[in-house]
Amino acid sequence: MINSSEELEVGQEAPDFTLTDATGATRTLSELRGTPAIVYFYPAAFTPGCTTEACDFRDNLGAFQSAGYVVLGISPDPASRLAEFADAEQLSFPLLSDEDAATAKAWGAWGQKTVNGRTFDGVIRSTIVVDAEGVVSAVEYNVDPNGHVARLREALAVGSGGSE
């Protein structure tokens, strides 16, 4: 098994990445300089927790955008699977494919987990907020998808807005 990756900490520069999104376009963190970003890692498209979380971000996207944030979802799914997920759930924010989990590992979102009694290495549901200069301003690992977005909005003092 691969050892858990080292978690990021507030005040640390977020590692850059180059990933393909659901449309086939290449995305990097560095292209977002000047804009704060909410980067969340999830294990797999179409699973119950991941769908709950993605739809919660979708339903609150207007509020995050009104506060100046962009939202990016990252999983080890191939881009074609992410396109299906985005279409099925009407997700209008970028979903990025991290098939080799290199970005998840660099961001501390990879490690040992147990699901249904089976222990394995995989993506640990995580949310990292990066400020406009590329520095980590908030981080949460082992996220519970139920109510996570509401807790994040409260922590970031993001009011209502958009498609609520």
- Among 29, 32, 50, 54, the active-site one is 50
| Amino acid present at 66 | S
Is-catalytic flag, 55? no
User: Phi first, then psi: what are they for 13, rounded to 5°?
Assistant: -70, 135
Strands (E), the chain: 18-21, 26-28, 37-41, 70-75, 95-97, 110-115, 118-123, 126-130, 136-141
> Which residues belong to the active site?
50
